[in-house]
């Protein structure tokens, strides 16, 4: 079963942290689990897709316009 952000927010390991910091750590853990084992190209696509959903396709494309030739198939996040 895929964990949700609420699962991470209710994690006992994060219970003693201030709420804002708990949210940041929960989001980081969620992203880490979702991107585990991705190649660099897949990792880049994940974040570009997230940006496009958040900002809208046109704005994200304008802000994220970079040279993808440097992306490799190296594994990100082990």
Of residues 20 and 1, the one with the higher pLDDT is 20
The per-residue pLDDT for 77 is: 53
Measured CA distances, 64 to 15, 56, 58, 69, 74 (Å): 35, 12, 10, 14, 21
Name the one residue in this structure whose structure tokens are 């964990």.
Answer: 3
Q: Tell me what the mean pLDDT of segment 9-29 comes to.
A: 93
Q: Using CA atoms, how far apart are residues 34 and 53, in angstroms rounded to an integer?
A: 16
Residue percentage of the chain with pLDDT more than 90: 49
| CA dihedral over 12, 18, 21, 23, signed as positive or negative | positive
């Amino acid at each position: 079963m895929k964990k949700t952000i609420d699962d991470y927010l209710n994690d006992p390991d994060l219970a003693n942290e201030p709420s804002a910091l708990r949210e940041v750590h929960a989001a980081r853990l969620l992203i880490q689990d979702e991107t585990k084992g991705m190649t660099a190209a897949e990792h880049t696509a994940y974040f570009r897709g997230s940006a496009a959903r958040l900002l809208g396709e046109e704005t994200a494309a304008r802000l994220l316009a970079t040279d993808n030739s440097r992306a490799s198939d190296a594994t990100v996040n082990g």
